[in-house]
Amino acid sequence: MLIQPEEITAVLNKVRIAREHLKTACPPHDEWVLSVMDFHWAVQDIYELEIEMLKVSFSADHVRGKVERYANKRARILIRAQQTPEFLRFVTVKELCHLMIDEEDDWSFMGVETIKGLLKEWELVGENGTGHTDPSDPLQSEMLAEIAAIEMMYPREYRASDIEKIKAKETTLKKIAMQHDVPPYAIEQAHRHHDMLEKCWCAIEAQIAGKGA
């Protein structure tokens, strides 16, 4: 997954802004579980967008959702209805994250091929530790949106402790996923890339500290 650290850091900074906005305007009802509707409101409010979200029925092997962008700062998110509740939540947040982080070069009409590329990318990361050396803009966008969604739904403050608890056999990926109402897949990816993400978060904290000095 050869995405430049500064690109990941830029995405995480947008996650930080969204989380701070939510914390100020919509104090969480449950500290463990992100409210999808509150996040929907926050993305609209921060980026001055009008976002319609719909569950629709369609058959697909890989595509779980997609975002359509229109003129006048309007967008529509379509989520495949035939999914488990936790995947419905995760996919909705991921599509909202696309609207939060994507630039125009990242937009793609090749949804199925992009998702297949993402699946292959995670396979390559498992095999060689890096994945593609030059991922396409849409593929990179998909990977960054997943990272943003995971960070919104499973924040960093829980991860180091959870990783240690798993090592000590005090909990499991499934139990952690249930606690945050996300698919186990999201927890697995967060733990797999924990060190990389932590470096990027530390870079953000250093930037903030430097501005305040």
Distance of alpha carbon 76 from alpha carbon 128, whole angstroms: 37
* Residues paired with 74 in a beta bridge: 50, 70
Asked if 169 and 137 count as a contact pair (C-beta separation under 8 A), the reply is no
Can you give the pLDDT at residue 53? 96
Site of tokens 């060190």:
195
What residue type is assigned to position 61 of the chain?
D
Instruction: Give the pLDDT of residue 104.
Output: 56
36-52, pLDDT tens digit by residue?
A: 999 999 999 999 999 99
Q: What is residue 212's predicted lDDT score, i.e. its pLDDT? A: 60
Give the model's pLDDT for residue 110. Answer: 44
Residue 113 CA to residue 165 CA, distance in Å, equals 37
pLDDT in 10s for each residue of the chain, 213 residues: 457 889 999 999 999 999 999 999 988 778 899 999 999 999 999 999 999 999 998 776 667 898 999 989 999 999 999 999 999 999 999 999 999 998 654 344 444 444 444 444 444 444 444 444 444 455 788 889 999 999 999 999 999 999 999 999 999 999 999 999 999 999 999 999 999 999 999 999 999 888 765
In the chain, alpha helices (H): 5-25, 36-47, 85-101, 111-128, 137-153, 156-167, 173-180, 184-192, 194-212
pTM beyond 0.95: no
Q: Which domains does the chain have, with CATH numbers?
A: 5-153 (1.10.10.2910)
Q: Which residues pair with 114 in a beta bridge?
A: none
- Given this model, what pLDDT does residue 35 score? 95
What pLDDT shows up at residue 174? 97
Contact of 59 with 47, CB cutoff 8 Å: no
